[in-house]
């Protein structure tokens, strides 16, 4: 799938389809593995999506087929200019970069300050852990996660790029059922498998694109790793398959089912 500057992959288990966004053309894409078809639209409830646009979080509706989507409302607006990834933990509230928790009523609670670029939000509910990356610090942090309140506390660094002589930056990530992180290595041509409990780098999965942006598990058995990439020309031309979305099979692990956000 070649769509450009892609990120934010979300596997919808009910539809058995992959959704992802292209940030520069402000579009949402849907990939159906059963047919191989990808449809696109410019910018809980069926066909409703939460997307970030500038400092706003919008609720939009799209049927997965038409080339336009309707903005239903602004859920909330935050005062930091660089929101990036947004994902939902098990209870369906929304975490939005830099770092906010947004309730079903649209109330935004700031959880962390002084962050450059928020990335890689994921949870291990069994361990009551929340993992989070600030891309330009080249680190992954773990927080204690309160499953009842959604609060986070006790941050500590569990992985540093410098310790493993890695180049590029930390981008989006997901977690498997063994508690290991799968981290997009932007400008590194790879996805990293990391054990956050031991800080060990377990595996490098090569990707034929330099600017790897994010990853999520999907497929009927949640054992396919979908990986998005970008093709931003920053002094060096990025030719196809850069900017494509890839699927990786045969990893021998499974992911968690993604949770849809709940909004009133």
Catalytically active residues are 171
Burial of residue 236 (CB within 10 Å: 0-12, 13-18, 19+) is exposed
- Is 171 labelled as part of a ligand binding site? yes
Burial of residue 156 (CB within 10 Å: 0-12, 13-18, 19+) is exposed
Looking up tokens 């906010």 gives 100
Phi, psi angles (nearest 5°) of residue 135: -55, -45
- Is 119 labelled as part of a ligand binding site? yes
Beta-bridge partners for 212: 229
Long-range interactions of 57-60: CB distance < 8 A, separation 24+: 57/86, 57/94, 57/96, 57/102, 59/263, 60/28
Residues annotated in a binding site for a divalent metal cation: 119, 171
Residues annotated in a binding site for substrate: 86
Residues annotated in a binding site: 86, 119, 171
């Amino acid at each position: 799938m070649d769509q450009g500057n892609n990120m934010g992959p979300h596997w919808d288990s009910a539809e058995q389809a992959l959704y992802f966004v292209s940030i520069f053309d402000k579009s949402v894409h849907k990939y159906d593995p059963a047919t191989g078809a990808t449809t696109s639209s410019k910018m809980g409830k069926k066909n409703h999506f939460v997307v970030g646009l500038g400092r706003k979080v919008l609720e939009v509706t799209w049927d997965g087929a038409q080339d336009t989507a309707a903005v239903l409302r602004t859920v909330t607006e935050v005062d930091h200019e660089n929101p990036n990834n947004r994902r939902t933990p098990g209870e369906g509230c929304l975490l939005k970069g830099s770092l906010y928790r947004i309730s079903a009523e649209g109330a935004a609670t700031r959880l962390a300050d002084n962050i450059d670029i928020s990335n890689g939000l994921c949870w291990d509910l069994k361990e009551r852990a929340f993992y989070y990356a600030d891309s330009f610090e080249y680190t992954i942090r773990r927080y204690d996660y309160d499953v009842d309140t959604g609060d986070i506390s006790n941050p500590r660094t569990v992985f540093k790029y410098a310790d493993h002589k890695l180049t590029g930056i930390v981008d989006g990530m997901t977690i498997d059922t063994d508690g290991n992180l799968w981290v997009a290595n932007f400008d590194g041509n790879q996805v990293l498998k990391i054990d956050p409990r031991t800080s060990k780098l377990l595996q490098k999965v090569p990707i034929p694109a330099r600017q790897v942006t994010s990853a999520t598990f999907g497929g009927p058995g949640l054992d396919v790793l979908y990986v998005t990439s970008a093709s931003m020309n920053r002094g060096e031309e990025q030719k196809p398959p850069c900017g494509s979305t890839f699927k990786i099979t045969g990893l021998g692990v499974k992911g968690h089912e993604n949770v849809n956000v709940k909004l009133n």
